[in-house]
Amino acid sequence: MSSSEPTTRRSALAAGGALLLAGVTGVAGLSGCGFELRRTPTLGFRSIALLGFDADSPMRAALVRRLSSQVIVQDRVAQADVVLQALADVRERSVVAITAAAQVRELQLRVRLNFRASTPSGRELIPRSELLLSRDMNYSETTALAKEFEEAELFRDMQADVVNQVLRRLAALEV
């Protein structure tokens, strides 16, 4: 064992400690920059009624789940402060590309929500709006089951994005 080996280890440890300290200082510096994770928007009303959705609509279920943490979701329009009316709630799946053997190669998945918001008396709060999200997905017959799960996951992600956008628009309302 040479006498320079402990010195090399001490130098490496000191350098590693200095890097760790610099990393901690860098993270501490970010705490004052104003960065904040996006939170669920705060709604300025106490109750809402959802109209126009199918009874088994996944979009309605997701909206109820997210809204019920802040407001009361009413069945009757007269008891609600805000009425969110779905004019169209559609999940679409279309073939974009096929092979020479007429097998599906690529799909496009779309989630579309047309909606409007008003008071129970009919005063318009949000005019007719459309939210449309689409995702492209490669497809292969040999992995059909895996692609089915991927499709379901993409639809869930798009639906969550649409619900977040609706919540942000509802949070901007002053009732």
The percentage of residues in the chain with a pLDDT greater than 70, rounded to a whole number, is: 82
How many domains in the chain? Answer: 1
pTM: predicted TM-score of the whole model, two decimal places: 0.75
Q: Is residue 4 part of a domain?
A: no
Residue 28 maps to a domain: no
Task: Write down the mean pLDDT value for the chain.
Answer: 87
Q: Note whether residue 139 is domain-resident.
A: yes
- 1 domain-assigned: no
130-148 pLDDT, tens per residue?
A: 999 999 999 998 999 999 9
Rounded to whole angstroms, the Cα distance separating 97 from 78 reads 49
CATH number of the domain encompassing residue 60: 3.30.160.150
Question: Mean of the pLDDT values across residues 43-61?
Answer: 94
- Going by pLDDT thresholds of 50, 70 and 90, the confidence category of residue 156 is very high
- The verdict on residue 8 lying in a domain is no
- How do residues 77-112 score in pLDDT, each as one tens digit? 999 999 999 999 999 999 999 999 989 999 999 999
Residue 14 covered by a domain? no
Q: Is residue 119 domain-resident?
A: yes
Q: Does the residue 39 lie in any domain?
A: no
Domain encompassing residue 111: 47-171
pLDDT one-digit tens code per residue, 55-75 = 899 999 999 999 999 999 999
